[in-house]
A and B are shown apart, each in its own frame.
Chain A
Amino acid sequence: MVRCRVAGRGGGRVAPVKVNSSPALGRALLRLLTVQGSWNYERMQGVGFGVAEEPLLRDLPRQAYPGAVARSAHFFNAHPYLCGLAVGAAARAEHDGTTPDQVDRLRTALCGPLGSVGDQLVWAGWLPFNSGLALVLVALGFGAWAIGGFLVLYNIGHLVLRWWALQAGWASGLQVASALRHPALLRAGALVRPAMALALGAALPLAAGYLSAPFAPWARIVVVGVAAAGLLLLRTGRVALNGLRFGLVTVAVALLVAWLWR
């Protein structure tokens, strides 16, 4: 059920009307899975946002539809899994007869919080937790089971979050900020960080042991030496170095030494 204005845009009375939103929400969710498909440096996720929001705008009056579609494809950038919150809220605001300026302001206001919450919860929490767990299990010999478990567990959280976000946005409209204070979201944020730290802490020595196991003692000394030197260089930050550059320089030097050492 959504609530629609019975009078014109901006000042009308809000009245509840029944709309069969489930199929439209389902289509929007499927399209949200490609929300970054047209990522670009001008509108960032804007075009994907518009594609995802479009099924939710089809019930708008004919004269309101093109304007709403145009607005939906304006600049937007947030965490992809939480984009649904903004998609649902913006669509609901359009149905509620909110002014175009307010819809634009709503989208702009959501970019930062959705990006920040999503990055903390998923990129810096749920994903490294699952990855760390998978590394631990692979190192302990669980092989393919560890990979299957990673994909299943990670994607349960991933898809639940996407679906919750879209529904919460659609239910909340302009009041969407309250959804970001949902107790389950806050509790997940509080739990996932220590879990991630624990999993990664366990994963590092186990993965290092797993990778070094086939080497002779002298080669293990090389592993430890390169790892220590690399960690020092990468953490001190005195040179513009990242993991890829350090890796490339290291293998280039090692290749040269290996070629000379025939």
Chain B
Amino acid sequence: MSFEVAVLLLGWGTLVGLDLTSVMQSMIARPIVAGAIAGAILGDLPSGLRIGVMFELLQYDILPLGASRYPEYGPATVAATATAHLLSGALGLGLGAVVGLFTGLLGGVSMNAVRRLNTNAVHRAAPALEAGDTQALMRLHVASIGRDAVRALLVTGSGLVLATGTHALPGQTIHVRGAVLLAAAATGAVIAAGTSGTVRLIGRGSAIGWFAAGLLGGVAGAWLR
């Protein structure tokens, strides 16, 4: 991975991290988008799509309702795609999942930390806000977005460092069959998470019939392929 590509990935991961809650919410933070674009940056769209699908399924386990806390899979998918590209094959997929899961955990923790910093900043600015000071309001808001940008940059950077670290592992650390086992286990885990989240989302109401119909169509489609 060249320096230019690393910088592009860092920039993309930062945008993705900002999109999750702070700016736009246009869903470039969805893993399927974050992974595909990261793959395109690396010149490896298939790896980006594959990792994107994996983490998109994990995302189904999350409903961002109210003030709930959740992992952040956008920058995580960028780092996982970089890992999959650097290592290629089953080892790339398996270790990509490992890197992505750790980065997702870090992303969730860092979001909570930034929200606490924002809370402290609001405390400090409370007298100015209560006086209707527009400049204080704008400063507070822009500084908070800046904080989130730095957070997203650091999370993506940490993920990319992990990705580079896995690339530096000696070849004998994991045998091919072990790599396939790791990739298969990670795939099973994301399918479980995706299915569990979907079943919870569908519930027991009238939508269950539509879900069953879709399931039949999907099984037929997968079998025909």
Whether the Cβ atoms of B32 and A150 lie closer than 8 Å is yes
Given contacts A144-B40, A206-B221, contact A40 B118 (CB under 8 A): yes
Name A244's contact: one of B24, B58, B129, B138 (CB within 8 Å). Answer: B58
Whether the Cβ atoms of A227 and B192 lie closer than 8 Å is yes
Instruction: Mark contacts of A111-140 with chain B using CB atoms, 8 A cut-off: 1 yes-contact digit, 0 otherwise.
Output: 000010001000110011011101110111
11 residue pairs from A and B, CB less than 8 Å apart:
A65-B132, A69-B132, A128-B198, A147-B33, A150-B33, A201-B217, A223-B184, A247-B190, A254-B94, A254-B184, A262-B172
What is the bound-complex CA distance between A128 and B62, given in angstroms? 11
What is the bound-complex CA distance between A242 and B119, given in angstroms? 27
Name A247's contact: one of B189, B211, B217, B219 (CB within 8 Å). Answer: B189
> Which B residues, 109 to 152, have Cβ-Cβ distances below 8 Å to chain A?
115-116, 118-119, 121-123, 129-134, 137-138, 140-141, 144-145, 148
Chain B residues with Cβ below 8 Å from A193 are 205-207
B50 interface residue (CB < 8 Å to A):
yes
Q: What 3 A-B pairs come out closest when comparing CB atoms?
A: A201-B214, A226-B188, A230-B192
Whether the Cβ atoms of A223 and B118 lie closer than 8 Å is no
Whether the Cβ atoms of B192 and A36 lie closer than 8 Å is no
Chain A residues with Cβ below 8 Å from B198 are 128, 200, 204
> Which B residues, 168 to 225, have Cβ-Cβ distances below 8 Å to chain A?
172-175, 177-199, 201-202, 205-219, 221-222, 225
Chain A residues with Cβ below 8 Å from B56 are 131, 134-135, 207
Whether the Cβ atoms of B191 and A38 lie closer than 8 Å is no
Nearest residue, chain A, Cβ from B117: A40
Instruction: Mark contacts of A190-225 with chain B using CB atoms, 8 A cut-off: 1 yes-contact digit, 0 otherwise.
Output: 000111111111111111111110111001101111
> Which A residues, 218 to 255, have Cβ-Cβ distances below 8 Å to chain B?
219-220, 222-231, 233-235, 242-244, 246-248, 250-251, 253-255
Chain B residues with Cβ below 8 Å from A225 are 188
B54 interface residue (CB < 8 Å to A):
yes
CB distance from B22 to the nearest CB of A (A): 4
Whether the Cβ atoms of A251 and B182 lie closer than 8 Å is yes
What is the bound-complex CA distance between A42 and B174, given in angstroms? 48
Whether the Cβ atoms of B129 and A41 lie closer than 8 Å is no
Chain A residues with Cβ below 8 Å from B202 are 197, 200
What is the bound-complex CA distance between A113 and B197, given in angstroms? 24
Given contacts A51-B141, A143-B45, A244-B104, contact A251 B211 (CB under 8 A): no
CB distance from B146 to the nearest CB of A (A): 9
Residues of A within 8 A of B (CB): 33-34, 36-44, 47-48, 50-51, 54, 65-70, 73, 77, 80-81, 115, 119, 123-124, 127-128, 130-132, 134-136, 138-140, 143-144, 147, 150-151, 154-155, 158, 193-212, 214-216, 219-220, 222-231, 233-235, 242-244, 246-248, 250-251, 253-255, 257-259, 261-262
Nearest residue, chain A, Cβ from B102: A248
What is the bound-complex CA distance between A215 and B191, given in angstroms? 15
* Segment touching A, from B6-14, B63-71, B154-162: B63-71
Whether the Cβ atoms of A197 and B194 lie closer than 8 Å is no
Whether the Cβ atoms of B141 and A201 lie closer than 8 Å is no
What is the bound-complex CA distance between A203 and B24, given in angstroms? 26
Whether the Cβ atoms of A198 and B180 lie closer than 8 Å is no
Nearest residue, chain B, Cβ from A66: B132
B30 interface residue (CB < 8 Å to A):
yes
What is the bound-complex CA distance between A118 and B206, given in angstroms? 20
Whether the Cβ atoms of A258 and B90 lie closer than 8 Å is no
Chain B residues with Cβ below 8 Å from A202 are 214-215, 217-218, 221
Chain A residues with Cβ below 8 Å from B185 are 222, 226, 250-251, 253-254
Chain B residues with Cβ below 8 Å from A66 are 131-133
B21 interface residue (CB < 8 Å to A):
yes
What is the bound-complex CA distance between A151 and B36, given in angstroms? 12
Whether the Cβ atoms of B194 and A204 lie closer than 8 Å is yes
What is the bound-complex CA distance between A154 and B193, given in angstroms? 23
Whether the Cβ atoms of B206 and A251 lie closer than 8 Å is no
Instruction: Mark contacts of B37-55 with chain A using CB atoms, 8 A cut-off: 1 yes-contact digit, 0 otherwise.
Output: 1001000010001101110
CB distance from B87 to the nearest CB of A (A): 13
Task: With A139-B53, A143-B49, A144-B40 given, name 18 new contacts (CB 8 A).
Answer: A48-B141, A124-B201, A130-B27, A150-B32, A198-B211, A200-B198, A201-B210, A202-B221, A206-B221, A208-B191, A215-B184, A234-B193, A242-B193, A243-B189, A251-B186, A259-B173, A259-B178, A262-B178
What is the bound-complex CA distance between A230 and B194, given in angstroms? 10
Name A248's contact: one of B32, B101, B118 (CB within 8 Å). Answer: B101
